[in-house]
């Protein structure tokens, strides 16, 4: 139950962070979504063996966290939660890709290990960028910005429903888990058998509550589309924000800055 409650509070905390009043928070959500999408595109398009080329991209999430007054430890903890899934994605790269690429004395590093590290770094950057976007914009304005960019309405509506029903599911799971703990004596009712009935009951309870919520929405005139949240227009600050970061991302993507600096320093002292 504590795990479910913690996850629910973390989701709500992101929405609380999105209600801030910094310069980044006041920007039009569409500008922030465009910049984040370009950031993710530039990161994932890097060559799988280019580790150093990814390092300058850390400037964006770090600058956004500092400028928007987001708690860095909270964002870091959320990124760490995804690390097991990231490790599963690239753990077999060193097995299948054994082409030697780097030599450190007698130690040879294969391309599989480099691509494995590249997957980890790119995942940290993209997941961190997504958390920063939600923490400065909110989930609903983000989906509405995607709708303005041309995403089909059915997808954005489903995303919003999924996000809202996560809280319904978490609340029902918390109540069901608490009832199970109160009715168990010692270790009785703590086995795997009880979990099967608990999951079934949770599904039925959540389904019933979701239907009641949907009926209430229909009674209030819901027609399949969420009303847009009022936001600032796309003005001078949004244009500067978009063009500034976009130019920097493209520059980072086309130029391996750490490699250029390394060659300059070694050439200067040679």
Q: Which two tokens stand for residue 97?
A: 């890709």
Q: How many residues does this entry show for the chain?
A: 270
pLDDT tens sequence for the chain (270 residues): 455 556 666 667 888 888 888 999 989 999 999 999 999 999 999 888 888 899 999 999 999 999 999 999 988 888 888 888 888 877 888 778 777 777 776 777 787 888 889 899 999 999 999 999 999 998 888 888 888 888 888 888 888 877 777 777 777 777 777 777 777 665 565 656 666 777 777 778 777 877 888 788 888 887 766 665 555 677 889 999 999 999 999 999 998 888 888 777 877 665
How far lies 11's CA from each of 14, 140, 157, in Å? Answer: 5, 13, 19
Residue 268: burial class (beta carbons within 10 Å; 0-12, 13-18, 19+): exposed
Element (H, E) at 104: strand 100-104
In whole angstroms, give the CA distance from residue 160 to residue 168: 13
* Cβ atoms of residues 86 and 74 within 8 Å: no
In whole angstroms, give the CA distance from residue 158 to residue 151: 12
The pLDDT value recorded for residue 77 is: 85
Quote the DSSP letter at residue 230: P
The pLDDT value recorded for residue 190 is: 61
pTM above threshold 0.85: no
In whole angstroms, give the CA distance from residue 5 to residue 169: 11
In whole angstroms, give the CA distance from residue 119 to residue 61: 17
Backbone angles phi, psi at 101, to 5 degrees: -120, -35
Quote the DSSP letter at residue 82: T
> Which positions ≥6 away from 34 have C-beta within 8 Å?
149, 242
The pLDDT value recorded for residue 225 is: 67
> Which positions ≥6 away from 45 have C-beta within 8 Å?
253
Residue 54: burial class (beta carbons within 10 Å; 0-12, 13-18, 19+): buried
């Amino acid at each position: 139950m504590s795990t479910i409650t913690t996850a629910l509070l973390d989701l709500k905390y992101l929405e609380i962070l999105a209600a801030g009043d910094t310069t980044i928070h006041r920007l039009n959500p569409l500008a922030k979504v465009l910049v984040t999408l370009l950031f993710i595109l530039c990161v994932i398009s890097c060559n799988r063996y280019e580790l150093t080329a990814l390092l300058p991209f850390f400037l964006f999430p770090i600058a956004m966290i500092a400028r928007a007054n987001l708690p860095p430890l909270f964002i870091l903890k959320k990124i760490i939660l995804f690390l097991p899934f990231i490790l599963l994605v690239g753990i077999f790269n060193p097995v299948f890709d054994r082409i030697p690429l780097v030599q450190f004395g007698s130690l040879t590093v294969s391309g599989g290990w480099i691509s494995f590290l590249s997957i980890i770094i790119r995942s940290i950057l993209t997941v961190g960028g997504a958390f920063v976007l939600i923490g400065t914009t909110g989930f609903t304005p983000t989906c509405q910005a995607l709708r303005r960019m041309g995403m089909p309405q059915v997808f954005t509506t489903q995303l919003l429903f999924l996000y809202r029903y996560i809280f319904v599911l978490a609340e029902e799971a918390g109540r069901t888990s608490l009832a199970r703990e109160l009715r168990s004596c010692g270790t009785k009712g703590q086995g795997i058998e009880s979990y099967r009935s608990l999951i079934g009951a949770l599904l039925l309870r959540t389904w019933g509550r979701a239907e009641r919520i949907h009926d209430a929405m229909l009674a209030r005139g819901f027609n399949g589309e969420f009303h847009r949240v009022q936001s600032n227009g796309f003005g001078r600050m949004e244009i500067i924000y978009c063009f500034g970061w976009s130019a920097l991302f493209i520059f980072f993507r086309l130029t391996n800055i750490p490699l250029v600096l390394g060659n300059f320093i070694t050439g200067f002292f040679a």
